[in-house]
Amino acid sequence: MMKDMIPGFELIQPTSIEGALNLLEEYGENGWALAGGMDSLGWFKNRGKRPEAVIDLEGLDALKGIDETADGIEIGALTTLTEIELNPLIRERFWLLAEAASKVASPQIRNAGTLGGNLCQDTRCWYYRYGVSCYRAGGNTCYAAAPEALNREHAIFGASRCVAVSPSDTATALVALDAEMVVRNSSGERVIKAENFFMEPAVDIMRMTVLDPEDLLIKVRIPNTWTGADFYFEKVSDRGSWDFPLVSVALAIKSTGDRIDDARIVCGAVQCIPRRLRNVEAMIRGQGRDEDTAAQAGAMAIQGAKVLNYNHFKIPLMENLVKRAVRG
């Protein structure tokens, strides 16, 4: 199903956010907002997406950069992953995000890939990606759920016809940090909590995020809530670079001595959205950060998991990652 040509489209390069928003509204579903292009060009080459117009955001300097605010920091959606990985302010206050960004793909891709692009990229499901008519593509079946399917990368939670997962490494970290997404269209601006930004297939199987075609992710806000917390991030993938996660975990935890006061625990690549483990967070509050608490957290994290033919390994992998994160 792989192709070797990109179909024709009109390339438009707006010089202002307002101009970009007007274009997104004008073209609607026939338009495509281009950030770093790391995910987009693959879609175009495989002809999975055939936009009438590509709206290149590279010239919008207002969407780039990292700024300190009274309440935390703001990161422009076009800020590169390398900038996030190396920024002293992020490394000092929110090391969790810097570490997650450092695990995305390869250095060359991080130099061009953006935070907004990483958050908004589409799923990597082989079947959807390469042109079969699955539920997510408007068809009437999920090829990845078939007994003989290649589904080792797919979901063990939250499947609703579709078993694809979110591929974003930075998403898990931002949900754990209680971040907010600032989204704008020609009608105005709205702020969306990071954990509500990603779309479950039971709500809308055709989208990975809540963004409508005329919406643009402007920036990400991280509050000072977790400044000074202990952080943990671990990603397991088939290869050390380039690959998307098989399972990942992001944790922010506040403690008094050995007692856990509060925590955020989020797992990636086990569900279509970053999976926040609220039950585990509630269970470990007030407990000691020790081996017993970690074991209980790991066992609770995998409750309700439903495997496919080739992703059974995700259950012990997720359990052990949660244990390691809580144990520290």
**The CATH number of the domain where 100 resides is what?**
3.30.465.10
159 lies in a domain?
no
The CA distance from 180 to 305, in Å, is 28
Cβ proximity of 121 and 167 under 8 Å: yes
- Which residues neighbour 256 within 8 Å (Cβ) at sequence distance 6 or greater? none
pLDDT at 2 over 60: no
- Of the pLDDT bands very low, low, confident and very high (cuts 50, 70, 90), residue 65 is very high
Report residue 23 as tokens. Answer: 């274009």
- On whether the CB atoms of residues 158 and 276 are closer than 8 A, the answer is no
Q: Which residue has the tokens 């793909």?
A: 105
Is a pLDDT exceeding 70 seen at residue 84? yes
Residue 64 pLDDT class (50, 70, 90 cuts): very high
Is the pLDDT reported for residue 5 higher than 90? Answer: no
**Residue 135 covered by a domain:** no
Within-domain flag for 151: no
Say how many domains are in the chain: 1
User: Would you say how long the chain is, in residues?
Assistant: 328
Q: Phi, psi (5° rounding) for residue 56?
A: -80, 120
DSSP annotation of 199: P
Mean pLDDT, range 127-146, rounded to an integer: 93
> Tokens 């490494």 correspond to what residue?
169
Two tokens, residue 83: 């900038």
Pick from 63, 23, 56, 24: nearest CA to 41: 56
Instruction: Flag whether 174 is in a domain.
Output: yes
Cα distance between residue 207 and residue 205, in whole Å = 6
Confidence of residue 196 (pLDDT cuts 50, 70, 90): very high
Q: Kindly list the strands in the beta sheet with 259-268, ordered across the sheet, starting from the edge strand earlier in the chain.
A: 230-236, 247-256, 259-268, 275-276
DSSP conformation letters of 3-16? -S-PPP-EEE--SS
**CA–CA dist 325, 281 (Å, integer):** 12
Tokens of 205: 């199987």
| Residue range 244-275, pLDDT digits in tens | 999 999 999 999 999 999 999 999 999 999 99
* Res 127 pLDDT > 80: yes
Residue 316 lies in a domain: yes
Domain that holds residue 298: 66-120+165-327
pLDDT band at 6 (very low <50, low <70, confident <90, very high): confident
pLDDT at residue 233, rounded to an integer: 98
- The C-alpha angle 170, 171, 176, rounded to 5 degrees, equals 100
